[in-house]
Structure 1
Amino acid sequence: MLVEIGNYSLEFDDITPQIAKTLLEYNTHNRPLNLPHVKFLSKQMKQGQWQMAGDPIKVSTTGRLLDGQHRLHAIVDSNTTQRAIILYNVPDESFSVMDTGRVRQAADVLSIAGFSDTKTTAATARMLINYERSSIAATMKSQGRKEGSVVTHQDILEYMGSHDLTPYLSKASTWHKTLSIYSKAEYAFFYCILSRVSPDQSVLFLNAVSSGAKLEIDSPMYILRKKLTEYKMNKLSLSPSERFALTIKAWNLYRANKTVKTLAFNADKDEIPIPQ
């Protein structure tokens, strides 16, 4: 059934594997395929659990496939026929903002792909992506923005397809229950980047910060813990750059086996440290 809506044509159709293959032939300049997501959708289709959610497969005015490649690949992979909506005559230029303009959140996308604790997972992945893009100022911001770009849902899904964050998220949950001076995502983020320097010391450092057990008063972990706890209790705020910098400064002091009386960071004067 074809419905005309203004300049658009909306079709409700049964998409066979052959039709899916034909549509995919026009899948030019699309984002990289996330194979784990395709396999997840394919499994749902084979088990009869996949349902049309109302988000159409989109085809541009020039016949280019703009959105829906994962569903179409899953139809081919599962060798099943699925009911779907196809929206035709979508402007080609809308593709660049299609992923960031939708209401669906990154956590929803990860949930569809079969991940658990998706809000924390999405937030952790977003911070790691920004960190690896050398955008420290954006690293701990919830929107994940850096100059000229946005961390898209697709970015996060692709990152999770090639990175196993399970060990970091598991430990983060334990540390957060002990002391919530960081969010679970922040604990997981710090554990991940610090473990790249020293897997063993990263655990010892974050164990000490969260528990406070057997810490000397001039220990970098004690001073960091005290400062962040005071800010939290007094409902004061630190910028994302300050929170990151203070944590990394404490880590670097710990690694150098140094004691400290205070921890401070001036965003206008000091360079943001890197883990050593």
Structure 2
Amino acid sequence: MLASNEIAKHLISPPETSVVIKIDPQAAADILTSRNKGNRPPKPNKVQQFSSDMENSRWGLTGDTIKFGTDGRLLDGQNRLSACVRSGKPFKTHVVFGIDPALFGRMDIGKPRNAADILHIAGFKYASTLAASIRWAHLLDTDPYNRSTLQPDFVLGLAKGKYADIEPFLKHGRDINRHFAHPAGQIAALVYKFSKSDAEKAGDFVRAWLRGERSGKYQIIDTMQALLHSQKANNNGRIHELTRASIIVKAWNIFELGQKGSLAQLQAAANKKMEKIG
């Protein structure tokens, strides 16, 4: 039976155990085109390695599986399928059908599937930035000094629930990142929280930061950026994320209150517990 036909049959009626199928390059290409929706990006080095093995007859039947969800989507195996297409060689593999897509985050837990992978699978754009922004929004709402890792499925729940409105702020984070090389996710989360306090002033704060405004009420923002730059320059291009956040939050609190502020205030903030966002 042709691989495409056999796969189609099992997608309709999933067997309880894995099935060994010889997948040809055309079948692999069809799967990647029609069933690889929302999967995480392929890994070029893996594809090259697997392709070389297939071309040189070093590929054999292992316990690794190609996985399909109950919705027909490919959940695991795109690197092997891409290698099959690239090498032009068929390969035998165990194939598993009927997996609940909601369990993707629990599959092959030893593999480096992080929150960004799960968000990408779920169809979110800029998944890495979004994952980082949600992490920081959560820390700002709970405890910025908590260093524990958020589980991917927990982050996905926040993306669909509590922080479903954070996505528009990713642009601010990405813009600041392009201009000043600050982490886009952290900046997006900070601006998001500033906006909750005063949306108009938050927008003004970001615009002034990007334009390098130096006069009047914007002076504290320019002073903030100069301090962030000097902190990085004096630490081999690095600045601790809590130090960065403390300085930015202090600058925002000064700006939000309409005060002039000073460099000394920002320097003090860098060495104290982070203030609450005003």
TM-score interval for Structure 1 and Structure 2 normalised by the shorter chain = 0.5 to 0.7
- 2:273 counterpart residue number: 271
Separation in 2, partners of 1:220, 1:99 = 48
Quick one: percent identity of the two aligned structures? 18
Query: What SS does the aligned partner of 1:14 have?
Result: helix
- Pair 1:159-2:161 in alignment: no
- Pair 1:122-2:131 in alignment: yes
Separation in 2, partners of 1:99, 1:198 = 43
- 1:190 counterpart residue number: 190
Residue 160 of structure 1 aligns to which amino acid in structure 2?
A
Larger radius of gyration: 2
Q: Is the 8 A contact 1:99 1:153 kept in 2?
A: no
Separation in 2, partners of 1:208, 1:220 = 10
- For structure 2, the residue ranges without an aligned partner over 5 or more in a row are 1-8, 17-30, 41-63, 73-93, 98-104
- 2:118 counterpart residue number: 109
Separation in 2, partners of 1:129, 1:186 = 11
Separation in 1, partners of 2:225, 2:203 = 15
Q: Is the 8 A contact 2:169 2:191 kept in 1?
A: yes
Separation in 2, partners of 1:188, 1:109 = 20
Q: Is the 8 A contact 2:119 2:131 kept in 1?
A: yes
- Pair 1:85-2:96 in alignment: yes
- For structure 1, the residue ranges without an aligned partner over 5 or more in a row are 1-12, 23-44, 58-67, 76-82, 87-95, 139-144
The two structures have a TM-score, normalised by structure 1, of: 0.59
The two structures, once aligned, show a CA RMSD in angstroms of: 4.0
Separation in 2, partners of 1:218, 1:50 = 48
Separation in 2, partners of 1:218, 1:175 = 16
Q: Is the 8 A contact 1:111 1:118 kept in 2?
A: yes
Residue 119 of structure 1 aligns to which amino acid in structure 2?
S
Displacement of 1:223: 1.5
1:272 and 1:175, CA in 2 relative to 1: closer, same or farther beyond 3 A?
closer
1:203 and 1:55, CA in 2 relative to 1: closer, same or farther beyond 3 A?
farther
Separation in 1, partners of 2:65, 2:116 = 17
Match of 1:137 among 136, 145, 151: 145
- 1:243 counterpart residue number: 244
- 1:257 counterpart residue number: 258
Residue 207 of structure 1 aligns to which amino acid in structure 2?
R
Q: How many residues align?
A: 203
Separation in 1, partners of 2:218, 2:132 = 32
After superposition, residues 48-59 of structure 1 pair within 5 angstroms as 48-50=34-36
Separation in 1, partners of 2:145, 2:183 = 17
Separation in 1, partners of 2:203, 2:108 = 36
Displacement of 1:188: 0.9
Displacement of 1:56: 8.1
Q: Hey, which of these two has a bigger chunk of helix by percent? A: 2
Displacement of 1:227: 0.2
Deviations 1:118-166 (A, max 9, x none): 221221122222323x12124xxxxxx33xxx30111122222231433
After superposition, residues 1-150 of structure 1 pair within 5 angstroms as 14=10, 16=12, 48-50=34-36, 71-72=69-70, 74=71, 85=96, 101-132=110-141, 134-138=142-146, 145-146=147-148, 150=149
The two structures have a TM-score, normalised by structure 2, of: 0.59
1:50 and 1:240, CA in 2 relative to 1: closer, same or farther beyond 3 A?
closer
Q: Is the 8 A contact 2:212 2:222 kept in 1?
A: yes
Displacement of 1:204: 0.9
- 1:33 counterpart residue number: none
Separation in 1, partners of 2:267, 2:65 = 49
